[in-house]
Structure 1
Amino acid sequence: MRLPRRVLLPVGAALLSLALVQCKKQEPATQAAPVQARTQPAQEQQAQQAPATVSDVLKAPRPRGGEYMGLYLVDKKVGYVFNDLAPVSGRGDRVRSINELRFKAQVGARLSERIHREERIYESRPGGKLVAFTIEQRGDGGNQTLVGTVTPGGMSVVRKRPGMPDETVNLPPTTEVVEDADQVRVAILRQANVSGNALDGTDLGTHPVSTTVLPAEERLISGIKVKVGKAVSVSEKEKVPVTAYVAEDGRLLELEYGQTMRARAEPEDVARRLDMVEVFGLTRVVLPRPLPPEAQAIPGQVKLVMENLPEKFQRDTYRQKYQAQPDGRVLVTMSARPPDPKKLAPRPLEDPDGGDNLKSSIIVESDSTQIRELASQLVGAEKDAYTAATKIVGWVATNLKKDYGASADRATDVLRQRKGDCTEHSLLTVSLLRASGIPARRVDGVIYMVNQDGVPALYWHEWVEAFVGEWTQMDPTFNQVVADATHFGVGQEGNAEITPLIGTLKVVEVR
């Protein structure tokens, strides 16, 4: 997701986290006028630069003072984004990029709000390097500030949290450059595709990003047809195509994240006015009838006929099988069983996927002292990986209070507060599993529930998958050492790749 990635990545991730807090077990809008901001011509921008040659990101016209966009989910306003890019005052050799995201929605009986703001400093020359950044996160997920300094040998990041001592983390170097701050406008200016890399504002990893220029087209803006530039950006991490429409004077008019989510240019006062959206009802997948009892048995199975499930999500696994139907729908068979006793293995285990599922990170933190000590206490001398995993799942299920307005984005924060929704249960479980030498990852998808209104539906949820000699799925939120067949997984590790499914996925038949 991109344009720039530090705005669009939090958009998908924040939407996903809002949808995933629906883990509690329970029985068209008018197009607003584009921002009327003065754009800064390329010549005026260049005149402010000290270097004789500046990056194309500064040559592309854009609104002076930044631009606001209202963020809509299924035509309901859930937030806004703001972005700006300009030379640093008094420093012609530096460029500052500012991006801010705000989400606000009702989640059950709780109001969930998240603010994510990033400021990045680059060299202004072509291919100028990222030299420093500040990332501020407030609200749902906890409050913290990350202050980073980039050197050729790596990144030094100071983590600041209220009431806690500062922490310094040293990370590998990033290859992000100034053109990656706004690939879309650079690509449209050049009329050529652009590729590069971008530092993720949540996990601080660097991921490839590419932007493809498409033919200009006419769009109806405020009742008038205007010619606009068009480009599509994709991050290799998220794999969510984001289509951008840019006016000839450089104003960003609209962003499309699949069929149900978009951002529209709006004046600041309009962008900041949000609808009070209830996420449970807006994003759930209503079923034509309740699931049969065998769906929740172990072993168990259920079959659903689905619409609007793209082919890239139809990958057969040990739990899910797909069969295309003549009418374009797909029959999904979901099954659950305990792992095969003959395949169980002792820990520590190697990761069959190359090692990522054993890594510690700024989010998982499986190498922290607190996490490793607790994992050792829970597992003890137990060698069987599956038995050890069940001990961890059971401890998390019984020791974390189910609080659906107390999110945390780091495993050590979850451990300290000992409360949260399914994302906190899954994050802490994965961290403890990896610290115990068991490869593990988070799984994103939907789970069957009947809410207080009596409507059978699938709600967005997160659980875990552990390798214990073979892969097996477990749900620490509901203390299931084998996640039952009502769990339909479509993504991993809190990845925003599944965002386009929210609001579009349909179940038309239960078999």
Structure 2
Amino acid sequence: MRLPRKALLPVGAALLSLALVQCKKQEPAPEAAQVQAGTQQPQAQQAQAPATVSDVLKAPRPRGGEYMGLYLVGKKVGYVFNDLGPVPGRADRVRSINELHFKAQVGARLSERVHREERIYEAQPGGRLVAFTIEQRGDGGTQTLVGTVSAGGMSVVRKRPGLPDETVNLPATTEVVEDADQVRVALLRQANVSGSWMDGTDLGTYKLSTTVQPAEERLISGVKVKVGKAVSVSDKEKVPITAWVAAEDGRLLELELGQTMKARSEPEQVAKSLEMVEVFGLTRVVLPRALPPEAQTIPGQVKLVMENLPERFQRDTYRQKYEAQPDGRVLVTLSARAPEPKRLAPRPLADPEGGDNLKSSIIVESDSPQIRELATQLVGSEKDAYTAAKKIVGWVAANLKKDYGASADRATDVLRQRKGDCTEHSLLTVSLLRASGIPARRVDGVIYMVNQDGVPALYWHEWVEAFVGEWTQLDPTFNQVVADATHFGVGREGNAEITPLIGALKVVEVK
């Protein structure tokens, strides 16, 4: 069990295009390879610059890119690098490079995640994304995605060590060159900007918008300087990201994701100098006392008085109820029960929320032959959806070794290696459930534990919610066919929406 990596390491739009990336020499994107070859051609054979170029190239920015230290609850856990400019030898193309390197202690294990993205665009206003390379290494697995983009769709080649290459065809993206740096484009125009962004993890395209805020004065190196300010929000994460940019030279001074996650401009050597932070202890929610035994029974219930829980997280569900207190705190009632027999339904079931909870994706992979074959073996002819779900949860709990540091971001990789932590258990379970015709999704939140130091606390965790005639939550990591009332869910599908709660959420009373 651990902090969900997607919450800790928001990607794509969630860090204003600062994706989780790896800092090493990478194979160029398809168009990038052509660009390098083009630099050796006679000038007359090289592509000419368009008559007009995008505002993304007109906005001031540091030459050679810029580094930023990444801080979680005031502790340094990584660094990011980004750069954007014309492709050498191809004035009609723009290259955007975004990197992040994360390294921290999680419990007794060292977690390291490196991820690099290179995107190639047409240089004219509204120029489309034409190619990309996404390279990942460390926590989550090692792979390279090489994509070519056309108006009709995206062709993505997935490369993994020791395995044959795979080609995936996906819908076209509407991302354009201005979306590569909406913040600087918006500040240059002094106007709000809307567009879209292809997420670097699931390759889905999501709306992205940036709003210009009034300029401010900030103290930089002891000197007050004028800075531009803009706020970006993506439809995937739904978390406002505030950016401050130096008006004089376009330096990105700071990014802020809530009060707990920040990226600050730093010289390269300073940015790369990392502290060894223990994330479990840094991010857990310490309780004033142990939870009562009835919180861990089925049915069961517990009540917690919380601080720093924004209203947007206070949505009543069949498991969680919220009651505002006069002092601004919130009384949260957590309950757990088995699904009502009269509501159980046979599979396959329609998704009551429109279909997303049955979809296969490059991450869930519920339509892959390996996943479908195993789902059929586990479920057989069982018609009752809840009985089928329990069989899947039991198999995952029994057959996945609990091993932090052996993580994977794709369901087929989890199945192949058969080990991992809560995110791997949940991902494989959701994939098998969807392959069995049962709508399912992952849930991010906190769960009660007392670790070796004897301190009762809530730790960040991931589990599963399935529709079996009614929604019910299950925890394959701990083989719970009903997730008990110590589970407090605040987000879905590993998104960064929960990041503002990390380090801020407090429980002041256990009732």
TM-score (norm: length of structure 2): 0.92
Aligned to 1:272: 272
Aligned to 1:5: 13
Paired AA for residue 481 in structure 1: V
- Deviation per CA, 1:135-192: give whole Å up to 9, x if none: 0000000000000000110000000000000000000000000000000000000000
Counterpart Cα distance in 2 of 1:255 and 1:378: 46
Aligned to 1:504: 504
Counterpart Cα distance in 2 of 1:171 and 1:7: 24
- Deviation per CA, 1:87-123: give whole Å up to 9, x if none: 0111110000000011100011110000010000000
Counterpart Cα distance in 2 of 1:255 and 1:362: 29
How far has the Cα of 1:5 moved from its partner?
2.7
Report if aligned partners of 1:343, 1:469 keep a CA contact under 8 Å in 2. yes
Q: For the structure 1 residues 4 and 203, does the alpha-carbon distance in structure 2 shift closer, same or farther, using more than 3 Å as the test?
A: closer
Aligned to 1:175: 174
Aligned to 1:91: 90
Aligned to 2:43: none
Aligned to 2:6: none
Q: For the structure 1 residues 365 and 396, does the alpha-carbon distance in structure 2 shift closer, same or farther, using more than 3 Å as the test?
A: same
Map 1:380-459 to 2 at 5 A: 380-459=380-459
Report if aligned partners of 2:444, 2:490 keep a CA contact under 8 Å in 1. yes
Counterpart Cα distance in 1 of 2:417 and 2:221: 48
Counterpart Cα distance in 2 of 1:486 and 1:12: 31
How far has the Cα of 1:209 moved from its partner?
0.3
Map 1:66-465 to 2 at 5 A: 66-248=65-247, 249-465=249-465
Q: For the structure 1 residues 489 and 509, does the alpha-carbon distance in structure 2 shift closer, same or farther, using more than 3 Å as the test?
A: same
Counterpart Cα distance in 1 of 2:79 and 2:232: 20
- Deviation per CA, 1:173-228: give whole Å up to 9, x if none: 00000000000000000000000000000000000000000000011111211110
Report if aligned partners of 1:12, 1:496 keep a CA contact under 8 Å in 2. no
Which secondary structure does the structure 2 equivalent of 1:180 belong to? helix
Report if aligned partners of 1:7, 1:100 keep a CA contact under 8 Å in 2. no
Q: For the structure 1 residues 459 and 336, does the alpha-carbon distance in structure 2 shift closer, same or farther, using more than 3 Å as the test?
A: same
Paired AA for residue 334 in structure 2: M
Which secondary structure does the structure 1 equivalent of 2:96 belong to? strand
Report if aligned partners of 1:63, 1:250 keep a CA contact under 8 Å in 2. yes
Q: How many residues align?
A: 478
Which secondary structure does the structure 1 equivalent of 2:125 belong to? coil
Q: For the structure 1 residues 10 and 414, does the alpha-carbon distance in structure 2 shift closer, same or farther, using more than 3 Å as the test?
A: farther
Counterpart Cα distance in 1 of 2:394 and 2:156: 34
Report if aligned partners of 1:407, 1:420 keep a CA contact under 8 Å in 2. yes
Report if aligned partners of 2:17, 2:180 keep a CA contact under 8 Å in 1. no
Report if aligned partners of 1:7, 1:81 keep a CA contact under 8 Å in 2. no
Cα RMSD for the two superposed structures: 1.6
Q: For the structure 1 residues 359 and 98, does the alpha-carbon distance in structure 2 shift closer, same or farther, using more than 3 Å as the test?
A: same
Counterpart Cα distance in 2 of 1:304 and 1:6: 30
Aligned to 2:38: none
Structure 1, unaligned runs of 5 or more: 15-47
Counterpart Cα distance in 2 of 1:214 and 1:60: 17
Counterpart Cα distance in 2 of 1:414 and 1:312: 33
Paired AA for residue 181 in structure 2: D
Which secondary structure does the structure 2 equivalent of 1:396 belong to? helix
Give the % identical residues. Answer: 86
Counterpart Cα distance in 2 of 1:508 and 1:287: 7
Which secondary structure does the structure 2 equivalent of 1:226 belong to? strand
- Deviation per CA, 1:227-249: give whole Å up to 9, x if none: 10000000010011010000011
Paired AA for residue 358 in structure 1: L
How far has the Cα of 1:260 moved from its partner?
1.2
How far has the Cα of 1:261 moved from its partner?
1.2
Report if aligned partners of 1:213, 1:231 keep a CA contact under 8 Å in 2. yes
Which secondary structure does the structure 2 equivalent of 1:112 belong to? strand
Report if aligned partners of 2:18, 2:98 keep a CA contact under 8 Å in 1. no
Paired AA for residue 417 in structure 1: Q
Which secondary structure does the structure 1 equivalent of 2:185 belong to? helix
Counterpart Cα distance in 2 of 1:334 and 1:167: 44
Report if aligned partners of 1:255, 1:262 keep a CA contact under 8 Å in 2. yes
Q: For the structure 1 residues 9 and 183, does the alpha-carbon distance in structure 2 shift closer, same or farther, using more than 3 Å as the test?
A: closer
Paired AA for residue 222 in structure 1: S
Paired AA for residue 72 in structure 1: Y
Counterpart Cα distance in 2 of 1:116 and 1:375: 32
TM-score (norm: length of structure 1): 0.92
How far has the Cα of 1:68 moved from its partner?
0.2
Report if aligned partners of 2:13, 2:233 keep a CA contact under 8 Å in 1. no
